[in-house]
DNA sequence: AGGTGTGAAAGGGTTCACAGCG
DNA sequence: CGCTGTGAACCCTTTCACACCT
């Protein structure tokens, strides 16, 4: 399929075709009237705009179950992320291979960041260690942090933090589950709970690509 | 601190106090004019509205690194989730304790769901197994699914699916990182990339009591 | 014709500003 | 007097509809 129309893409994504065209138009005029969008060219332009064509070295700090899961996560490489190092505070872990890569000790953190020009760090440590690790990452030059620890991190201006709370997704499901259960009683429910919502979005959410209602 | 004002809460949350008051007003009139909101009462009301006061048994299918990380995740219990069972297809895993709970074999899936009245399932299997597991969960009575596998699941109407893609969060960080790098060249950047964004929201970001849809 | 790109209209959500209550 | 609750103004996003290009 060498080209797609906004209509086809919109249907696949579950959005309005006008919205899709308007969104694309902010990136430039990459379509051809009467024809549609050249798939390969479009993919490249969007990838470039999103930064997927760059190589982003990242470090993962805290190689417990979650850190190991992240290290093994296949989706990273295909999106331009390269795991530059796995770091853990436990000396027992040092040298152990995880996802085909030896775990390094926290002592090496600063050197690793600098040697690899890492600007993105992933924190998968226990809550208690997160802020400290964060501070060291920032001091070493990291300017974006993905935080899986259940703590709110404090960072200086200019540093971005995104927090992933795995239980929030469950909470959203439970919220809808609750509504399903009390559907017939909808009239007596508060406005918020009763309001029908158009397929609400996940964390990828801003990527409705395929979110079934 | 027995009471808070909308102003204080708004500052803490990084939003406008009027928005906060309006949002709360959809839940009912739980504040006191001239005083503020009674903290304990407010927490209860919001918890109830979100379904946090209910007990939600969940099953986790696929006890690899990620599944184990989820099983150990402390945040669940405090939000009303109870891990009813850990399920894995590997017979070797059966009986092994993970997070103080024996892993059970996939053969038991249907029975476990029914015995525990589980309506929420978490899929942490490899991509190849996800749809099949999903089908079985749904057939057994699950109506909400949290999917960590990198696959788009197909489900019947009435079943909610939320997909968590761990790399998307990194992608968002990389996007901002890219902008930081090219800040001085902002004038020549496409409109989208150059546009200043109000501290955009994390995954928890799209969970304000009232979904911004 | 066929489908993009976009001005204009419509729709929603946020903020303002203040009445009203404790 | 202080702070909530909320109508109205405002602003941003989405959708419509069509001019315009291929």
Is strand C in 7 Å reach of the CB of B114?
A: no
Q: Among all residues of chain A, which has the CA nearest to that of B45?
A: A190
Residues of chain B positioned with their CB less than 8 A from the CB of A201: 206
A12 touches chain B (CB under 8 A): no
pLDDT in tens, B80-123: 999 999 999 999 999 999 999 999 999 999 999 999 999 999 99
Q: Among all residues of chain A, which has the CA nearest to that of B213?
A: A200
Is strand D in 7 Å reach of the CB of B20?
A: no
CB contact under 8 A, B68 and A65: yes
Q: Where does B55-107 have alpha helices with state H?
A: 65-72, 75-78
* pLDDT mean over B9-37: 96
The answer, yes or no, to whether residue A209 has pLDDT greater than 90, is no
Is strand D in 7 Å reach of the CB of B37?
A: yes
Distance B65 CA to D5 C1' (A): 49
CB contact under 8 A, B203 and A200: no
* pLDDT mean over A131-136: 98
**In 3D, which of A45, A15, A16 has the Cα closest to residue A29?**
A45
The answer, yes or no, to whether residue B145 has pLDDT greater than 90, is yes
Question: How close, in Å, is residue A18 to chain B by CA atoms?
Answer: 17
Domains of chain A: 3-50 (1.10.10.10), 56-164 (3.40.50.720), 167-210 (no CATH)
Residue B183: predicted pLDDT: 56
Residue B78: predicted pLDDT: 83
B209 touches chain A (CB under 8 A): yes
B48 touches chain A (CB under 8 A): no
Distance A200 CA to D12 C1' (A): 19
Kindly report the average pLDDT of chain A as a whole number.
86
B18-36 CB burial, b ≥16 within 10 A, e <16: eebbeebeebeeebeeeeb
CB contact under 8 A, B171 and A69: no
Residue A117: predicted pLDDT: 97
Distance A49 CA to C5 C1' (A): 19
Q: Which nucleotide is nearest to A28 (CA to C1')?
A: C5
The answer, yes or no, to whether residue B167 has pLDDT greater than 90, is no
Distance B19 CA to D11 C1' (A): 15
pLDDT in tens, A141-198: 999 999 999 898 999 989 999 999 888 889 989 998 988 877 544 433 444 433 333 3
Q: Which of A122, A169, A200 is closest, CB to CB, to B213?
A: A200
Contacts of A149 (CB under 8 A, 6+ apart): A62, A123, A124, A125, A126, A127, A129, A130
- Residue with minimal CA–C1' distance to C2 is A34
- Give chain C positions with protein CB within 7 A: 1-7, 12-17, 20-22
pLDDT in tens, A45-99: 999 999 889 999 999 999 999 999 999 988 888 889 999 999 999 999 999 999 9
Residue B206: predicted pLDDT: 31
Q: Which segments within chain A are labelled E, that is strand? A: 3-4, 31-32, 36-38, 56-61, 81-88, 97-98, 101-105, 120-123, 144-147, 160-163
Pairwise CA distance, residues B18 & B27, whole Å = 15
Residues of chain B positioned with their CB less than 8 A from the CB of A51: 171, 174-175, 177-178
- Residue with minimal CA–C1' distance to C20 is B33
- What is the maximum span of chain B, computed from C-alpha positions, in angstroms? 63
DSSP state of B83: E
Residues of chain A positioned with their CB less than 8 A from the CB of B145: 173
The answer, yes or no, to whether residue A44 has pLDDT greater than 50, is yes
């Amino acid at each position: 399929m060498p080209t797609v129309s906004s209509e086809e893409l919109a249907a696949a994504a579950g959005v309005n075709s006008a919205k899709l065209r308007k969104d694309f138009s902010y990136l430039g005029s990459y379509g051809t009237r009467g024809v549609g969008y050249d798939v390969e060219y479009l993919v490249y332009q969007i990838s470039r705009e999103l930064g997927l064509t760059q190589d982003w070295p990242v470090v993962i700090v805290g190689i417990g179950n979650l850190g190991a899961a992240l290290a093994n996560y296949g989706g990273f490489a295909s999106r331009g992320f390269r795991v530059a190092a796995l770091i853990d505070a436990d000396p027992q872990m040092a040298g152990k291979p995880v996802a085909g890569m030896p775990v390094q000790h926290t002592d090496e953190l600063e050197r690793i960041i600098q040697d690899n020009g890492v600007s993105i760090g992933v924190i998968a440590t226990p809550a208690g260690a997160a802020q400290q690790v964060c501070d060291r990452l920032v001091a070493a030059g990291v300017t974006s942090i993905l935080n899986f620890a259940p703590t709110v991190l404090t960072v200086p201006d200019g540093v971005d933090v995104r927090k992933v709370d795995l239980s929030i997704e469950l909470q959203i499901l439970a919220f809808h589950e609750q509504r399903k259960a009390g559907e017939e009683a909808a009239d007596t429910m508060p406005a918020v709970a009763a309001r029908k919502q158009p397929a609400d979005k996940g964390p990828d959410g801003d990527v409705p690509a395929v979110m079934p209602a």
